[in-house]
Structure 1
Amino acid sequence: MISIRNLSKKFGTKEVLHQIQLDYEQGKVYGIVGENGAGKTTFFRCIAGLEDYEGEISSDLTPLKNHLGLLLTEPFFFPKITGKEYLQLLCQARDVQISNMEDKNVFDLPLNQYAATYSTGMKKKLALTAILLQGNEYFILDEPFNGVDIQSNILITEIIHQLKALNKTVIISSHIFSTLSDTCDEIHVMNQGNLIKSVQKPDFAILETEIKQMTLGKKLDKLGLT
């Protein structure tokens, strides 16, 4: 379990997270939705120990960062490291030995090519493969489906289902509601740094309708399409 109590974060005088309280249980998949700038990525970076914050984040396994796989929206790669070397580097960071690296290449990536030359989708798939091979217990996936081809989206969805079956904890953000509906047990709605709603699976359809209504409003009418 990951327990979050009174989590707040400021950049200067601007508060980007306000008194967040959540519990993430083992064997469950959680989604987070919110507009750009709502605070989702900052929230993830706080959990991963990449940002200072006020409040408390605790977990059954400590330190949390040593058991957490974080997939960023735009993963970073050194300019002269191949895909294979990147996988080896992240596995070594967890003292995990992988002898048959090519067999683990489920996304069919060019592992002998420099990772910096990969497309956006390929970089995301490489970074995801790396945190999966580490054997983490907790996973944070920030927009894992964005920029990835449809075949890989299907595979990523099934990977998330398998992580759940293995009793892992998975937290996902996505602007594609259907991907969250297919994978999540619970969805949290974030707005301007505040957690404003938690929705269980039976009410996902209602939440989707609410999001559409809030997003569209009368904006289409303003276009005057005929």
Structure 2
Amino acid sequence: MINIQSLCKSYGKHKVLYNINLIFKKGEVNGIVGENGAGKSTLFKCMAGLESFEGSIAYTGNILKNVTGYLPTELFFFSKMTGYEYLQLLCNARDIKEKNLYTSNIFDLPLNEYAENYSTGMKKKLALTGLLIQKNEVFILDEPFNGVDIHSNIIIQEIILKLKELKKIVVMSSHIFSTLNQSCDHLHYLKDGTIKSSVIKGEFELIENEMKGSSIGNKLVELMD
């Protein structure tokens, strides 16, 4: 279980996250939604150990950052590194002895080509493959469906459901409510750096309607009325 208590994050005088309190349990998928700039990626970076913060993040088990697979929205690959070498690097980082990385190539990627030349969707699939090979306990997926084709979208959905079955902790963000409905057990609405509401599966429409209520469409109506 991950227990986030009173988490706050600032960049200088600019406060990004305010008093975040969340609990993520094994075998559950939690979705974080919010407009761009709400603080979703910053929260994920704090959980992944990439940002300092105030408050606490407690994890039952190992050191959280050592068992967490983080898929960011902006991916980076070293120049002149093949897809195969990238996967090998991630294995080495966790001291994992993977005998044949080609059998782990579930997306049928061209592993002998340079990863920097992959398309956006291919890069995302390569990074996700690496996280799976690492056998992480926690998966933080920031917009995992962005930039991938329909077939890959279906595979990623299947992966998330399998991770849930394996009692992993999955925290993800998405702007596509249909994917959240299919994958998530809980949904949390992050707005202006705070959790405005949290609901269970079957109540996601409440947050969707809440987000629509503050959408640009309503602001345009007020402007033109």
Residue 171 (1) aligns with residue 174 (2): no
For 1:35-93, what per-residue CA distance to the aligned partner results, in whole angstroms no more than 9, with x for missing partners?
Answer: 00000000000011111110111101231111000001011110121000100110111
Q: In the alignment, what sits opposite 2:181?
A: 181
What SS is found at the alignment partner of 2:167? coil
Contact 2:189/2:207 (<8 A) preserved: no
Residue 59 (1) aligns with residue 59 (2): yes
In the alignment, the residues of structure 1 paired with residue 209 and residue 35 of structure 2 have an alpha-carbon distance, to the nearest angstrom, of 15
Q: In the alignment, what sits opposite 1:107?
A: 107
TM-score w.r.t. length of structure 2: 0.95
Deviation at 1:209, TM superposition (A): 2.8
Letter in 1 for 2:19: Q
Runs of 4+ in 1 over 4 A off after TM superposition: 220-224
Contact 1:74/1:124 (<8 A) preserved: no
What SS is found at the alignment partner of 2:95? coil
In the alignment, the residues of structure 1 paired with residue 126 and residue 50 of structure 2 have an alpha-carbon distance, to the nearest angstrom, of 21
Q: In the alignment, what sits opposite 1:219?
A: 220
Number of residue pairs matched by the alignment: 224
Letter in 2 for 1:198: S
What SS is found at the alignment partner of 1:202? coil
* Pairing of 1:39-54 with structure 2 (within 5 A): 39-54=39-54
In the alignment, the residues of structure 2 paired with residue 81 and residue 214 of structure 1 have an alpha-carbon distance, to the nearest angstrom, of 44
Deviation at 1:138, TM superposition (A): 0.3
Q: In the alignment, what sits opposite 1:123?
A: 123
Q: In the alignment, what sits opposite 2:76?
A: 76
In the alignment, the residues of structure 2 paired with residue 50 and residue 93 of structure 1 have an alpha-carbon distance, to the nearest angstrom, of 16
Deviation at 1:188, TM superposition (A): 0.3
Letter in 1 for 2:114: Y
In the alignment, the residues of structure 1 paired with residue 220 and residue 110 of structure 2 have an alpha-carbon distance, to the nearest angstrom, of 44
Letter in 2 for 1:217: N
Contact 1:61/1:67 (<8 A) preserved: no
In the alignment, the residues of structure 2 paired with residue 167 and residue 155 of structure 1 have an alpha-carbon distance, to the nearest angstrom, of 19
Deviation at 1:208, TM superposition (A): 2.2
Identity of aligned residues (%): 56
**Structure 1 residue ranges without an equivalent (≥5):** none
RMSD value, Cα = 1.5
For 1:150-200, what per-residue CA distance to the aligned partner results, in whole angstroms no more than 9, with x for missing partners?
Answer: 100000000000000000000000111111111000000001111110011
